[in-house]
A and B are shown apart, each in its own frame.
Chain A
Amino acid sequence: MRITRTLRAAAAAALLLTAAACGSSGSGGGASPGGLNPPDLKAPSALGRTEGQVNLIAWAGYVEDGSNDPKVDWVHDFEKQTGCQVHSKVAASSDEMVKLMKTGEYDAVSASGDASLRLIASGDAAPVNTALVPNYKDVFPDLKLQAWNSVKGKAYGIPHGRGANLLMYDTQKVNPAPTSWSAVFDDAARYKGHVTAYDSPIYIADAALYLKATRPELKIKDPYALDQKQFDAAVALLKKQNADVGEYWSDYLKEVSAFKSGDSVIGTTWQVIANLAASEGAKIKAFVPKEGATGWSDTWMVSAKAKHPNCAYKWLDWIVSPKVNAQVAEYFGEAPANAKACALTGDKNFCATYHAADTAYWKRVAFWNTPIQQCLDGRTDVKCVPYAKWVQAWTEIKG
């Protein structure tokens, strides 16, 4: 199931906000980041009777009813408790999620940061009254009301889980132990041919994050809001890095095998990959370098056209309830959103391993967002490079 993370990462190739269009029309008023000005939708103030069923769009591994693995089932208990029959549709990409949500056939979706803003801006996702989701109170505060799940202080969803893109290195071959991303950028030549990087345009943000710390004159505030000059600098850095890269990875198994064999000795990774590689005997370490890191965070959102809103709210509450959130986080390999979930994981060290409660850790993580023309960092004097250009640039970086 963890492999779905790969798919979704590829789907970071699927952003491009309708939001931007809205933003540009009301360029004067947008106070929130990116100038988002979503349609004025109301969240329900109270819940009514459940409708007997709910239609969900989700990443693979998020809505498991035991059909993939009999031991992995948190749907049947939900159906028993609420009387809401679950129909779920697995989406392969953020793009598909957005397309499916536009049909109005679905009640809720597990959107990543690159899809959530689009849904908010286009009015496909409704604000969520978090008071109607009792378990929301236990969600880590640093996940609440963030740029990718809220607009102007209004919540548009319930956080599901998160992860950071770490720097992993081979402890035997990489000496001294790195502390900075410079190990894969400015100093990458030391491990020429054995550097690896994540194969997605969104990886340009990793370069931008590094430049933010090392080249202050570029004045990068948000690695997802890059003007042409900043963007060009990031792309130039990546083109330089390309000479030293052995291979890019998009399949987590590929990275595990590369680190095990020594084909890759240093590069970006996810916690789950690091755990897997270590469990298979690779001598590796993964950490957040001093510049911080990029990362991802998912949000359950309710459709503005939901036919079964009451069941949808029940599901939102269910999926972040401590027991279920622990199950899904462990199954998928990510940090849970609910603080209480940490007590209920099968592996007692799970939350520690994934830094679930480590606020300082997450402070240094810049979660994936959608680069749009309207700079997300609030600048209005320049235009930022939209994601479509990121995709083209990524092709050119790889050459």
Chain B
Amino acid sequence: MTVVAQTAGQGPRATARRLAGALHRRPRLRLALLLTAPLLWLAVLYLGSLAVLFVSAFWTTDSFTSEVVKVWSADNFHTLFTTPVYRQVILRSVGVALAVTALCVVIAFPVAFYTARVARPRWRPLLVVAILTPLWASYLVKVYAWRLILSQGGLCDWMLEPLGLSGPGFGLPATVLTLTYLWLPYMILPVHTALAQFPANLLDASADLGARPGRTFRSVVAPMVLPSVAAGSIFTFSLSLGDYITVQIVGGKTQLIGNLVYSNIELDLPMAAALGTVPVVVIVLYLLAMRRTGALSSI
């Protein structure tokens, strides 16, 4: 009687154990079970949507009904490359992304150098937190704050007034400035980490061999931190290239590629898709370029 009850009680548990044992003996099965869901997610939702984007760029729209006509044609891409305004906007967008990235590098280096090497060690984590804090604030709040700063008679004008200057107002410089502010932490963090881990004796070694600080920076620090800078630039570049809200708020009349996608999406989905593939292609090219620096392994 007791025996029967016991076996019954242990039934499910024994099965579970057998199952666990089976899984333990078959690592491939285990891996498959573990990865199926995330891989499906990646393939179907992520790559799938990219594929749909690309495919739909080859469709057209009925100009009367604005309904998508599923007939293959490269018209959209033809328009894209032959219409001067599109070319101009694409170049402007890439230019903004590059400018933001360059500014981020220039600003991030001294800041990261300070937080990683100069500041007292017990202050460093706090400084890193301080750098990250803006990331917790809402994107829109930050951009609107910059709108206030850059507006007529705003903080920027007020500070430049004694010098007989005025702020840049709304426009392309304001956009670059605001985007730089927005994405700066993404650049500082990897550079900070790289500098924090940078072996101090390499600086000594370089100086010892006769290199002045500038030379040491160029030949030793920069090449070793470069992968991290490249990693950070992947964020600053792609986030800038995809942005269309900041430019609406502080960009004055400037339009970037995101704005074109946005304004086409209701009326001409295929054209919007064609426009949308441009940043994707640019970013893929950028990633390929950055991969050579070893950036992808330091993200």
Do A and B interact with each other, yes or no? yes
Picked from A245, A386, A394, the residue with its CB within 8 Å of the CB of B63 is A386
Chain A residue at smallest Cβ distance from B255: A398
Distance between Cα atoms of A193 and B85 in the complex (Å): 21
Let me know if B63 and A95 touch, CB within 8 A.
no
A345 at the interface (CB under 8 A from B): no
Picked from A13, A245, A387, the residue with its CB within 8 Å of the CB of B263 is A13
Let me know if B151 and A263 touch, CB within 8 A.
yes
Interface with B: A17-25, A220-228, A302-310, A331-339, which one? A17-25
Residues of B near A347 (CB, < 8 A) are: none
Let me know if A246 and B169 touch, CB within 8 A.
yes
Chain A residue at smallest Cβ distance from B251: A247
A208 at the interface (CB under 8 A from B): no
A167 at the interface (CB under 8 A from B): no
Interface string of A20-63 (1 = CB under 8 A from B): 11000000000000000000000000000000000000000000
Picked from B66, B89, B253, the residue with its CB within 8 Å of the CB of A247 is B253
Let me know if B267 and A246 touch, CB within 8 A.
no
Query: Given A251-B248, A261-B153, A386-B64 in contact, is the A10-B170 Cβ separation under 8 Å?
Result: no
A278 at the interface (CB under 8 A from B): no
Let me know if B260 and A13 touch, CB within 8 A.
no
Residues of B near A250 (CB, < 8 A) are: 248
- A residues in contact (CB < 8 Å) with B: 10-11, 13-18, 20-21, 93, 95, 193-194, 242, 245-248, 250-251, 254, 257-258, 261-263, 372-373, 386-388, 391, 394-396, 398-399
The residue in A250, A373, A396 that gathers the most chain B C-beta atoms within 10 A of its C-beta is A396
Interface string of B142-178 (1 = CB under 8 A from A): 0010011001111000000000000001100000000
Query: Given A18-B64, A250-B248, A251-B248 in contact, is the A399-B151 Cβ separation under 8 Å?
Result: no
Query: Given A254-B249, A262-B153, A263-B151 in contact, is the A13-B267 Cβ separation under 8 Å?
Result: yes
Let me know if A396 and B169 touch, CB within 8 A.
no
Let me know if B66 and A388 touch, CB within 8 A.
yes
Residues of A near B251 (CB, < 8 A) are: 247
Let me know if B154 and A261 touch, CB within 8 A.
yes
Q: Looking at the assembled complex, report how far the CB atom of A255 sits from the nearest CB atom of chain B, in whole angstroms.
A: 12
Query: Given A250-B248, A258-B151, A261-B153 in contact, is the A388-B63 Cβ separation under 8 Å?
Result: yes
Distance between Cα atoms of A189 and B264 in the complex (Å): 30
Distance between Cα atoms of A399 and B61 in the complex (Å): 23
Let me know if A16 and B253 touch, CB within 8 A.
no
Chain B residue at smallest Cβ distance from A14: B266
Q: Looking at the assembled complex, report how far the CB atom of A396 sits from the nearest CB atom of chain B, in whole angstroms.
A: 5
B252 at the interface (CB under 8 A from A): yes
Residues of B near A194 (CB, < 8 A) are: 152
Picked from B147, B249, B267, the residue with its CB within 8 Å of the CB of A388 is B267
Residues of A near B267 (CB, < 8 A) are: 13-14, 16, 95, 387-388, 391
Query: Given A18-B64, A248-B253, A257-B147 in contact, is the A395-B266 Cβ separation under 8 Å?
Result: no
Q: Looking at the assembled complex, report how far the CB atom of B159 sits from the nearest CB atom of chain A, in whole angstroms.
A: 16
Residues of A near B154 (CB, < 8 A) are: 261
Distance between Cα atoms of A18 and B65 in the complex (Å): 5
Residues of A near B151 (CB, < 8 A) are: 257-258, 261-263
13 intermolecular pairs with C-beta atoms under 8 Å apart: A14-B266, A16-B63, A16-B267, A193-B169, A246-B170, A247-B170, A247-B251, A251-B249, A261-B153, A263-B169, A386-B64, A387-B267, A388-B66
B88 at the interface (CB under 8 A from A): yes
Let me know if A396 and B263 touch, CB within 8 A.
no
Q: Looking at the assembled complex, report how far the CB atom of A256 sits from the nearest CB atom of chain B, in whole angstroms.
A: 12
Interface string of B252-295 (1 = CB under 8 A from A): 11010000100110111000000000000000000000000000
Let me know if A16 and B152 touch, CB within 8 A.
no
Q: Looking at the assembled complex, report how far the CB atom of B28 sits from the nearest CB atom of chain A, in whole angstroms.
A: 47
Residues of B near A251 (CB, < 8 A) are: 248-249
Residues of B near A21 (CB, < 8 A) are: 64-65
Chain A residue at smallest Cβ distance from B144: A257
Q: Looking at the assembled complex, report how far the CB atom of A370 sits from the nearest CB atom of chain B, in whole angstroms.
A: 11
Residues of B near A248 (CB, < 8 A) are: 253
Let me know if A391 and B153 touch, CB within 8 A.
no
